[in-house]
């Protein structure tokens, strides 16, 4: 078995708990439909579809949330060198793909070259589906009542197989990057 240290751990933001997923999801939903909900000081670039605001504005937004939604360092981590956050609104006549960082993809290739198994973090919600009830034709079903705010947001999956990039990583990237919103 490959060692479990083959993890790319330099994500721009890491949402560590379900609470962080819930809170950030609610913020993203609001930002997409209500320009007034965006952090103070947000500016637009390009044709008005790129919204940019400083890191401090995100932190102030998070600090202004009700106590039940207040995030701590146990819930999320924003990489130190992140100075600004970008929100991209798609144009109706365009298909947008948000590319992963080149360093992350290069890391997965290096892992394979060193005979390690590449590793990805998947949302924990998929870990809650009992394998004996899963079917490719069924929608994802999760008992929401069983989810707790302090549960982990994700779980590690090590990629194996003859070509783990083709068998898992690339389809997962295509699914994530092409269908970020339904």
Which tens digit of pLDDT belongs to each residue from 91-101? 888 887 878 88
Q: In sequence order, which ranges of the chain are alpha helices (DSSP H)?
A: 18-33, 55-63, 102-113, 164, 170-178
Q: Are the CB atoms for 123 and 157 separated by under 8 Å?
A: no
DSSP 150: T
Tens of pLDDT, residues 10-65: 678 888 888 888 899 899 999 988 999 999 889 999 888 889 999 999 999 999 99
Enter the pTM of the model.
Answer: 0.72
């Amino acid at each position: 078995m490959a060692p479990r240290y083959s993890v790319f751990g330099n994500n721009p933001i890491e949402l560590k708990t379900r609470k962080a997923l819930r809170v950030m999801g609610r913020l993203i939903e609001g930002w997409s439909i209500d320009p007034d909900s965006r952090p103070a000081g947000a500016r637009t670039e390009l044709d008005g579809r790129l919204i940019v605001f400083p890191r401090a504005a995100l932190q102030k937004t998070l600090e202004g949330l009700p106590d039940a939604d207040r995030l701590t360092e146990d819930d999320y981590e924003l990489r130190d060198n992140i100075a600004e956050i970008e929100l991209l609104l798609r144009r109706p006549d365009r298909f947008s793909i948000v590319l992963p960082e080149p360093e992350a993809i290069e890391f997965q290739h290096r892992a394979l070259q060193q005979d390690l198994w590449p590793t990805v973090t998947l949302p924990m919600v998929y870990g809650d589906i009992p394998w004996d009830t899963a079917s490719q034709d069924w929608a994802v079903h999760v008992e929401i009542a069983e989810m707790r705010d302090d549960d982990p947001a994700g779980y590690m999956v090590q990629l194996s197989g003859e070509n783990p990039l083709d068998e898992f990583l690339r389809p997962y990237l295509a699914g994530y990057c092409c269908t970020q919103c339904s």
